[in-house]
Every structure is written in structure tokens, then in C-alpha cells.
């Protein structure tokens, strides 16, 4: 299912990437990346495993440093920020990890309260409860509030991971392989949730995936990463309307195999 058009302000880039390069030893991962993500837009970065998709979002969030190039997030040059400034910027970014990254020793409530209490120390118990319940309701899992992560399905854990990022009201969401390891029905539910988050929280997002159904369902724009560069960028149909055998092979593997 193709994504419905979103309200995007193309006069306001929230992420600006220019001439970005990153290598590990002799292995060149990113070889000159250029990309802008606009206010209210979901951009899917699509590519095979090992092509540098996750490296890209780690650079965006300041977890890795580029060798060459600049990354501006919400108007700030990420590479020029000191530790405190980078911490403040990260509070405006929600990072949904591939493995959900929940604390197994805490209940769902505890997992959601942790970042909230850590970063907003002046909240009352009533305010904390209200925010926890609000984000759980947003992901459709209010009934799990007192459960442990081990009691949840993979799809539920993924949803709780997204809820934990939402509790600080981020302006940008970074999703790392949001449908990896999930069954087809749960994948569809996660895709729908990503679109709901965009609409309800007015977020801008980068969605890292090799799942074409996810790309088609969630992306306002798709950037195809091949050989360290964005070879094709546009709508899903624009990206795959090509005779480039590398792109056709990727499409056929996903939708035919």
C-alpha cells in the first residue's frame, strides 16, 4: 500500500547532509552523501544490509563522526557541538533501535518513566503518569503498562520502544530497521504506527530499512543507497521506474522471491 501524502513544509529542512564521507580502515562506507529532510517528511533510506544505512543515522545523531562533509540537524552543525550541546540536541531526536533496547529489569511503565524523569526532574507523579499513559495509548498498548518486556511479543516490544522515544516529544524520529524480524501482519501494524506518529506528533523522520513494503507504506520520499551513494531519490515509484539492473534486482528479491 502506497503512503498517503503528508503535510510537508519544503521551505524548512530539519536535516541537511552535504558531501558526507565515512570510512572504516580501507572500507569506504559512505562516498559523498547529500540529502535534505523537510519539516513533516518521512524519508526512507533504502538499501541492502551493510551498505551504510545505520552508519548514516549514527552520524546524524552524533554517535559517529564523519571523515568529510557536514550534517546540520535542526539548524545546528552536529560535528561542531560540544558534549552538553550534543546532549541537548539529542533530546529533540527520537531514536528507535532495531532491537527496541528496552531494560529487561523494568516494567513497561519503568522503561517509559526512565527517560522522562531523567530529563524532566520537576514533574509531579500525576504528570508522569499522564505522559506515560498518553504515549502507551498512542501506540495502542496501554494494557501492557505493568508488564515486563519478557512478557511482550516482538511487535509489542517494538511499539514500546517507539513509545519511549515519543515521551520526550521529539521533533525528529530516526527508525533503524523498524520491521526487522517481525511477521508480515505485525510489519503492517508498525508501518501504520510510523505514519500515525508522523501525523499525531508532527515529526520528521528518517526510516532505515531494506523492506520495500515498509518503504512504500511509510516514505514520502525514498533514497536508494548503492555503493556508498544515493543513486536514486524520489517517490517509491520514481525510484523503481528504472532499467538499472542493481535496482531491479533489489526490487525483485523483495517482491518476487
Segments making up each domain of the chain, as ranges: 1-92+172-257, 100-169
How many C-beta atoms lie closer than 10 Å to residue 22's C-beta?
22
- The predicted model gives 136-164 an average pLDDT of 94
- The predicted model gives 9-24 an average pLDDT of 95
69-107 pLDDT, tens per residue? Answer: 999 999 999 999 999 999 999 999 999 877 778 899 999
Percent of the chain with pLDDT over 70: 98
Percent helix / strand / coil, the chain, rounded to 5: 40, 25, 30
Q: How far apart are CA 253 and CA 257, in angstroms?
A: 5
Query: Does residue 256 have a pLDDT over 60?
Result: no
| Average pLDDT of every residue of the chain | 92
- The predicted model gives 116-143 an average pLDDT of 92
Q: Model confidence at 5, in pLDDT bands (50, 70, 90)?
A: confident
Confidence (pLDDT) at 62: 93
Percent of the chain with pLDDT over 90: 78
With 0.85 as the threshold, say if the pTM is over it: yes
Q: Model confidence at 251, in pLDDT bands (50, 70, 90)?
A: confident
Query: Does residue 257 have a pLDDT over 50?
Result: no
Q: Which residues contact 33 (CB under 8 A, 6 or more apart)?
A: 17, 19, 20, 21, 56, 69, 228, 229, 230
Query: Does residue 141 have a pLDDT over 70?
Result: yes
178-236 pLDDT, tens per residue? Answer: 998 899 999 999 999 999 999 999 999 999 998 999 999 999 999 999 889 999 999 99
Confidence (pLDDT) at 49: 79
Q: From 43, 36, 45, select the one nearest 11 (Cα to Cα).
A: 36
Confidence (pLDDT) at 6: 84
Instruction: Find the Cα–Cα–Cα–Cα dihedral 21, 35, 160, 109, rounded to 10°.
Output: 80
> Taking the domain 1-92+172-257, which CATH number applies?
3.40.50.300
Confidence (pLDDT) at 239: 93
Q: Model confidence at 35, in pLDDT bands (50, 70, 90)?
A: very high
Amino acid at each position: 500500500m502506497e503512503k498517503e501524502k503528508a503535510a510537508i513544509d519544503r521551505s524548512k529542512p530539519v536535516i541537511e547532509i552535504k558531501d558526507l564521507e565515512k570510512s572504516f580502515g580501507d572500507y569506504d562506507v559512505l562516498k559523498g552523501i547529500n540529502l535534505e529532510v523537510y519539516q513533516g517528511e518521512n524519508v526512507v533510506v533504502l538499501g541492502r544490509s551493510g551498505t551504510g544505512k545505520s552508519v548514516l543515522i549514527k552520524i546524524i545523531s552524533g554517535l559517529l563522526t564523519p571523515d568529510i562533509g557536514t550534517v546540520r540537524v535542526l539548524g545546528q552543525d552536529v560535528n561542531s557541538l560540544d558534549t552538553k550541546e550534543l546532549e541537548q540536541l539529542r533530546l529533540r531526536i527520537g531514536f528507535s533501535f532495531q532491537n527496541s533496547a528496552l531494560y529487561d529489569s523494568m516494567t513497561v511503565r519503568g522503561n517509559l518513566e526512565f527517560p522522562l524523569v531523567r530529563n524532566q526532574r520537576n514533574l509531579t507523579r500525576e504528570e508522569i503518569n499522564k505522559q506515560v499513559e498518553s504515549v502507551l495509548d498512542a501506540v495502542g498498548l496501554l494494557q501492557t503498562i505493568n508488564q515486563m518486556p519478557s512478557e511482550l511479543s516482538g511487535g509489542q516490544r517494538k511499539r514500546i520502544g517507539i513509545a519511549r522515544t515519543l515521551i520526550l516529544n521529539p521533533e525528529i524520529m530516526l527508525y533503524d530497521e523498524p520491521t526487522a524480524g517481525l511477521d508480515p501482519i505485525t510489519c503492517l501494524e508498525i508501518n501504520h504506527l510510523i505514519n500515525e506518529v508522523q501525523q499525531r506528533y508532527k515529526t520528521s523522520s528518517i526510516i532505515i530499512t531494506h523492506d520495500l513494503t515498509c518503504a512504500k507504506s511509510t516514505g514520502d520520499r525514498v533514497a536508494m543507497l548503492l555503493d556508498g551513494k544515493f543513486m536514486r531519490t524520489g517517490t517509491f515509484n520514481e525510484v523503481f521506474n528504472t532499467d538499472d539492473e542493481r535496482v531491479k534486482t533489489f526490487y525483485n528479491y523483495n517482491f518476487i522471491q
